[in-house]
Structure 1
Amino acid sequence: MYTWHWQTWNELPYLTCSLLEKWPHGFFTHHCWPRSPAELVASLQPQAEVYRVKQVHGNTVLTTNQIGDISDFPVSEPESVAYPEADGLVTEQSQQAVWVASADCTPVLIADRQTGLVGAVHSGWRGTAAKIVPQAIGRMLEQGCRLENLLLAMGPAIAGEVYQVSEDVAEAVCASVVAGSNSDKLGSLLDQFSDVGVLDDPEPGKVRLDVRRVIGLQLEQLGVAPEQVAIAPYCTYQTPEHFFSYRRDNLRKVQWSGIVSRELA
């Protein structure tokens, strides 16, 4: 339904999705490392104010007014800046660029086709278990957005077929979409709900987990229609030519994803 396109900026590749074509946005590759959002914004909208956070694998979502523009922060040493702790950002006006970093976790970019406001979310297994994407949607609704006007693109992330986790991790994530699961064991969850993003693994006590599938189910349960959601056909673990993967390389390097809010007629 939606197409994904490779773009270039200064001969560096990044990915865009036709679902979000009205908004400057990009899922950047490891080729852009170690450039920061303050530099990468030039590829999207050079005049936009830039916002990012210190990601902590939680479900806190902040608005741009809560953290402040980082354009004046030191570009050469971004890690020296005391960014607010959160894993999601939503804008409050046009010309604001929000960014998240990932290296196997799912970057989710959100846009509202009525207000032009946008959000960016970092959703690893912990954030997914804590429903950070629904939390971000809730913040956007507080900003005057409507559920039926939201468009969401999930960027490159580790695919379920190669993401081995413990049964306890899978249970915690599945509990976010399985009603009344609380203390149930994984086996009983799978017996009752066979399509929750969990696959078999040959190692005892382990399974494979499709985090993007679980996020999709969370959106479905909120009432988001399938045509409002796009999922990138790329796995960070299996695409070393384009993406860092912490699970594959065990390196603390990331790729950035960002989107710029705009005024819509």
Structure 2
Amino acid sequence: MSVEVVRAAALAAAEHGFLGRTGGVSTGELAGLNVGTGSSDDREAIAENRRRAVAAVLPGANLATVHQVHSAEAVYVAQPWPQEERPKADAMVTDRPGLLLGILTADCAPVLFADFEAGVVGAAHAGWRGAFAGVTDSTIAAMEGIGARRERIAAAIGPCIAMPSYEVDAAFRDRFIDADPANDRFFVQAAAETLHFDLPAYVRHRLVAGGVEEVETIHLDTYSSPDRFYSFRRSTHRGEADYGRQVALIGLKR
């Protein structure tokens, strides 16, 4: 089975893709295209899955990833870091051809960016913590630092946990409302004591508020699609011992 690549119309001029679990060599609970070195998966299987992911989006490119920590930190990438030297960050930007920026997720929102005129791309890991802290703002600013202009940037929000699958508590909502009462619109009262958070809508809001005029959302729910995507929350609810990670990729041709 070949690697499934979901692409965004807003980024059609860029080499990019949101990948799931289809087309990989991992087995068991992690079956498929697991690229997460933080999992207990076989190292050779992860390496082969990463090779297949790169080949499906930009053959021959060098893959760059960071040590994701749910922060708002964005870094410039000139070349991939050795695995043990990856910086702690949750977003990357580059203007170097032949590089693929890779963001790993398992329910959090992957966000890919491009200013085609400037030849600048970016990628961000936007879970609720990073999105709330401003990881998309940091990515936009880092792109501007190497020649992009925010009004020219196109962005796409990839597959992530959708509102019907994302149950939260009142304290979670209060954190957002304390920051901005208007954030109440990203929460839905599903039952008497059940709240749900709309992560992709909140990330979209942050992008638009940051000056990005073209934003596309890929409406695919990682939690409710076990055959297509890995999901931390689903694995937790099922009592599974581990969970896989999928990757979102963007780069510039040589």
Alignment of 1:225-264 (within 5 A): 225=213, 228-250=214-236, 251-262=242-253
TM-score by length of 1: 0.78
2:42 paired with 1:54 = no
Q: Deviation digits for residues 64-105 of structure 1, max 9, x if unmatched?
A: 03xx425xx5xxxx6xx3422111111132222100011110
Q: Percent identity?
A: 27
2:80 & 2:183 partners in 1: Cα distance?
Answer: 44
Shift of 1:115: 1.4
Conserved in 2, the CA contact under 8 Å of 1:37 and 1:99? no
Conserved in 1, the CA contact under 8 Å of 2:231 and 2:243? no
2:123 paired with 1:134 = no
- 151, 171, 178: which one aligns with 2:174: 171
Shift of 1:47: 2.7
Partner residue in 2 for 1:98: 101
Shift of 1:58: 0.9
2:198 paired with 1:210 = yes
Name the SS of the counterpart of 1:30 in structure 2. coil
Shift of 1:201: 3.6
Conserved in 1, the CA contact under 8 Å of 2:14 and 2:116? no
Distance 1:169-1:195 versus aligned 2 partners, 3 A rule: closer
Alignment of 1:5-154 (within 5 A): 11-31=2-22, 32=24, 33-34=33-34, 35=46, 36-65=49-78, 68-70=79-81, 81-154=84-157
Conserved in 2, the CA contact under 8 Å of 1:129 and 1:174? no
Give unmatched runs, 5+ long, in structure 1: 1-9, 179-188
Q: CA RMSD in A?
A: 2.1
1:197 maps to amino acid: F
Aligned length: 227
1:174 & 1:229 partners in 2: Cα distance?
Answer: 24
Name the SS of the counterpart of 2:7 in structure 1. strand
Shift of 1:258: 0.4
Distance 1:194-1:101 versus aligned 2 partners, 3 A rule: closer
Conserved in 2, the CA contact under 8 Å of 1:55 and 1:87? yes
1:29 & 1:154 partners in 2: Cα distance?
Answer: 14
Name the SS of the counterpart of 1:214 in structure 2. helix
Conserved in 1, the CA contact under 8 Å of 2:93 and 2:122? yes
Partner residue in 1 for 2:239: none
1:17 maps to amino acid: A
- 215, 221, 229: which one aligns with 2:209: 221
Give unmatched runs, 5+ long, in structure 2: 25-32, 35-45, 237-241
2:187 paired with 1:198 = yes
Shift of 1:116: 2.0
Name the SS of the counterpart of 1:43 in structure 2. helix
TM-score by length of 2: 0.82
Conserved in 2, the CA contact under 8 Å of 1:173 and 1:214? no
Conserved in 2, the CA contact under 8 Å of 1:115 and 1:145? yes
1:196 & 1:222 partners in 2: Cα distance?
Answer: 18
